[in-house]
Amino acid sequence: MNEETVHRMKQMKLLGMAAAFRAGMEQDQLVNLTNDQMVSMLIEAEWDDRNNRRIERRLRQAKFRYSANMEQILFNQDRNLDKNQLMRLAECGFIDKAENIMITGKTGVGKSYIASALGNQACTLGYKAIYANTGKLMSRLKMAKADGSYLKEIARIEKHDLLILDDFGLQPFDNQNRSALMEIVEDRHSKRSTIITSQWPISDWHEIIGEQTVADAILDRIVHSAHRMELEGPSLREKLSGKQTHLIELH
């Protein structure tokens, strides 16, 4: 009868409940539980399983550059990284307020890892996040214009609570890229959050975007009142090698 119960749980896609029920039987734990305790245990197991699967699905769909987490971030003094600021941001209140984060610094100092860690944290807390290399995203949007899927792609980006634009400014913006960036920024302004990482200081972004009027409009929307991290110090890639690179953040 118990095996039939497990089978029916699986058929109803109550996978967490089925696993907990089977484990309880194998370890003879169920006989010590009252009916109320057993029901509570099974429901909690199903809740946890579904929540974990939702988190895994969000992380998979976000396609972060790194499988990053907050615990592995280095707070060396030479990095100019404020631990209190980052821990506050990890609570993801900035997403509820539709605020942006700008992370700048030369290559290798950990910009993309920190952005990915914040994105990972957001997914864990129930937000939808998406990662994109800025140059590749602009190229993809150009192709979308050509095949008629542009509006669908823009709408897909807009619906995410958090957008991470990595390596901003590595490639120059032409008229079409500027227009796409402006549309993304306008759609998200005061409604959704964006994290931008760049090797260039924010003071150079106006020139990178080009077209003064458009650049003014974009920067006014993304930089005003944004949280800023200006990372310093030597490249972590140059300091780490071998197995260490899998244990400590990079880029």
Q: Do 74 and 170 lie in a common domain?
A: yes
Q: Mind spelling out the 3-state secondary structure of the chain?
A: CHHHHHHHHHHCCCHHHHHHHHHHHHCCCHHHCCHHHHHHHHHHHHHHHHHHHHHHHHHHHHCCCCCCCHHHCCCCHHHCCCHHHHHHHCCCHHHHCCCCEEEECCCCCCHHHHHHHHHHHHHHCCCCEEEEEHHHHHHHHHHHHHHCCHHHHHHHHHCCCEEEEECCCCCCCCHHHHHHHHHHHHHHCCCCEEEEEECCCHHHHHHHHCCHHHHHHHHHHHCCCCEEEECCCCCHHHHCCHHHHHCCCCC
Q: Do 44 and 90 lie in a common domain?
A: no
Q: Do 142 and 168 lie in a common domain?
A: yes
**Residue type for 63, please?**
K
Q: Helix 212-222 crosses helix 175-188 at what angle (to 10 degrees)?
A: 30
For the beta sheet containing 227-230, the strands, ordered from the edge strand earlier in sequence to the opposite edge, are 129-133, 162-166, 193-198, 101-104, 227-230
pLDDT at 1: 62
d(CA 119, CA 41): 31
Look at residue 192 and tell me if it is in a domain.
Answer: yes
Look at residue 132 and tell me if it is in a domain.
Answer: yes
Model confidence band, residue 2 (pLDDT cutoffs 50, 70, 90): confident
In tens, the pLDDT along 87-135 reads 999 999 999 999 999 999 998 899 999 999 999 999 999 999 999 999 9
Query: Which range is most confident: 29-33, 227-231, 235-239?
Result: 227-231
Mean pLDDT throughout 168-172?
90
Q: Do 110 and 212 lie in a common domain?
A: yes
Q: Do 89 and 21 lie in a common domain?
A: no
Question: Which range among 43-47, 96-100, 172-176 shows the weakest confidence by mean pLDDT?
Answer: 43-47
Q: Do 40 and 73 lie in a common domain?
A: no
Q: Do 21 and 76 lie in a common domain?
A: no
In tens, the pLDDT along 49-73 reads 888 888 888 888 888 988 888 988 9
Look at residue 251 and tell me if it is in a domain.
Answer: no
Overall number of domains in the chain: 2
d(CA 233, CA 40): 51
pLDDT at 245: 43
Yes or no: say if 164 and 119 are a contact pair by the CB < 8 Å rule: yes
Yes or no: say if 121 and 155 are a contact pair by the CB < 8 Å rule: no
pLDDT at 242: 46
Instruction: Find the domain containing 11 and state its range.
Output: 2-61
Q: What are phi and psi of 159, to 5 degrees?
A: -75, -10
Place of tokens 């939808």: 128
Q: Do 192 and 204 lie in a common domain?
A: yes
Q: Do 173 and 206 lie in a common domain?
A: yes
Model confidence band, residue 152 (pLDDT cutoffs 50, 70, 90): very high
